[in-house]
Amino acid sequence: MDPLGELIDRALFPAWEGLVRGRPTLRLLRYLRQTEVRPLDELEAIQLGALRRLLRHAFEHVPFYRARMEEAGLLPEDVRALSDLARLPLLERGDARAAGDTRKSTAPPFPTIRKATSGSSGEPLSFAYDAGSEHWRQATKLRGYGWAGHRVGTRTLHYWGAVSPGAQATARRSSSRSHALKVALDRGLKRERYLDCGVRGDEELARVVEELRRRPPEVLICYAQAGADLARWINARGARSWPDVTVLTAAERLLPADRAAIVEAFGPRVFETYGSREVMLIASECGAHDGLHLSMENLLVELVVREGEGTRPTRPEEIGEVVITDLHNLGMPFIRYATGDLARMASRARCACGRTLPRLGAVEGRVTESLVDGEGRRVSGLLFNVMMVAHGASIRAFQAVQHRDRAVTLRVVAPDLAEGEERALRESLEPYLRGVPLRIERVADIPTERSGKRRIVVVER
């Protein structure tokens, strides 16, 4: 890292975060750097403590979970081992939607940070969390990214969806100028730049390469398939003129061929991350490049197979559904939340990096198809997720289909979608789909695949 980066990492950011903003992020980060190498049974004891606190709070102050626990005959004090949690039913996305405010805490800490997600199955969901959970999330992210060598103050380029998550949360949370200034300072201190990866034609990719040449970042953070498209474009033209850049991929599964292309364009330091808008960083790859360590101090992650009325944990090598309990979000808890993703654990052997946090192997089911616009430019399928979060508050489910003649039909299940909302949605999508007719079709239901997942983007071939 350069001298300015060092100064930011060691002095300016700690002063800003701790003294000015009064946030405990860096204290939590120090804690997480100590726990990640503790024996596994110690880590599980930490999880159990946090889980019991969460369940006690949920039972006393969150009507939805009190009802669920009473129905399941499971009181907080009955939970003596992590496995006891499996006595509670899964929280499906539809349940979470239907529960509305009954999932919110009626006592402090209240959920003050509101967000929405379209998820990987095309069913939007609004959710919230409290400030304490935000600090855990930020510390967890800093630790996970840190395994790739990223620090605060690292010159970072985000090759990312149009509406950056941070920008959006900010827009919702506050419109005050002092808040906007704080966010700008935050970004400036972190030396982060954002480029939109929505459309990936020659012209757009050439502009990214120009930016890479003009101000080479130390770290590139990108959607996996956007990074791969960029890398292939660079490789095909021999356009690389920069030293190795660390690459962190997110939002989509990093396929082996995509990783190879990225390594050629940016060097061998490529790290896959797995997260979601609901809980942020779930798992992250370390320098051993052999699976993704789980963020287990912040999240209890189960891989389960449905059996009868309940679930059982996966066997070694078996693929299961990713189920998450957000241990520090008391404001609007996610307890046994079925994310809709599928994953498999990596080997149980200790990682070469020395960390004891268990590792996920591949995360399946996070592959989004790319579309093409009227001139043949590739367009990120995640565009629909991004726009749905921004404009689709009343959309229950969606799916975009690109037909053989390139026309796009966006199917939405949204009985309450207002005229104006539909117009805003259309206006936000059209610039990305130049030369392609877009039809928005209201339907009663969108069937899922045989796997039970709903594909967000279908490209008819």
Summarize as ranges the residues that interact with Zn ion (CB under 5 A). Answer: 286, 288, 351, 353, 355
At its nearest, how many Å lie between Zn ion and the CB of residue 146? 12
At its nearest, how many Å lie between Zn ion and the CB of residue 358? 10
Comparing CB distances to Zn ion, the nearer of 33 and 182 is: 33
Comparing CB distances to Zn ion, the nearer of 103 and 355 is: 355
Comparing CB distances to Zn ion, the nearer of 357 and 458 is: 357
> CA-CA-CA-CA torsion for 356, 54, 133, 164, nearest 10 degrees?
90
At its nearest, how many Å lie between Zn ion and the CB of residue 292? 9
At its nearest, how many Å lie between Zn ion and the CB of residue 335? 28
Comparing CB distances to Zn ion, the nearer of 245 and 351 is: 351
Comparing CB distances to Zn ion, the nearer of 347 and 451 is: 347
Asked if 369 and 400 count as a contact pair (C-beta separation under 8 A), the reply is no
At its nearest, how many Å lie between Zn ion and the CB of residue 288? 4
Comparing CB distances to Zn ion, the nearer of 19 and 349 is: 349
Lookup: tokens for 278: 């609901």
Q: What's the CA gap between 158 and 191, in Å, rounded? A: 11
**What DSSP assignment string belongs to 191-210?**
TEEEEE-SEESHHHHHHHHH
Q: What's the CA gap between 389 and 94, in Å, rounded? A: 16
Alpha helices in 124-218 (DSSP H): 131-146, 165-173, 177-190, 202-214
- Tell the residue number behind the tokens 């360590």, with chain if given: 293
Q: Which of 412, 398, 400 is nearest to 437 (CA)?
A: 400
> CA-CA-CA-CA torsion for 100, 106, 109, 111, nearest 10 degrees?
20
Q: Kindly list the distances between the CA atom of residue 358 and the CA atoms of 5, 71, 141, 163, 378, in Å, as whole numbers in the listed order.
A: 31, 32, 17, 32, 36
DSSP 238: T
At its nearest, how many Å lie between Zn ion and the CB of residue 231? 24
At its nearest, how many Å lie between Zn ion and the CB of residue 349? 11
Comparing CB distances to Zn ion, the nearer of 353 and 371 is: 353
Q: Which of 279, 278, 261, 280 is nearest to 270 (CA)?
A: 261
Comparing CB distances to Zn ion, the nearer of 46 and 288 is: 288
Comparing CB distances to Zn ion, the nearer of 120 and 140 is: 140
Asked if 340 and 365 count as a contact pair (C-beta separation under 8 A), the reply is yes
Asked if 50 and 328 count as a contact pair (C-beta separation under 8 A), the reply is yes
Q: Which of 190, 147, 145, 140 is nearest to 24 (CA)?
A: 140
Q: Which of 55, 123, 49, 81 is nearest to 335 (CA)?
A: 55
Can you give the length of the chain in residues?
461
At its nearest, how many Å lie between Zn ion and the CB of residue 357? 8
At its nearest, how many Å lie between Zn ion and the CB of residue 196? 32
Comparing CB distances to Zn ion, the nearer of 58 and 294 is: 294
At its nearest, how many Å lie between Zn ion and the CB of residue 287? 7
Q: What's the CA gap between 310 and 406, in Å, rounded? A: 43
At its nearest, how many Å lie between Zn ion and the CB of residue 150? 16
Residues forming a β-bridge with 326: 299
Lookup: tokens for 247: 């690459």
Q: What's the CA gap between 69 and 79, in Å, rounded? A: 11
Comparing CB distances to Zn ion, the nearer of 82 and 288 is: 288
Lookup: tokens for 295: 């963020």
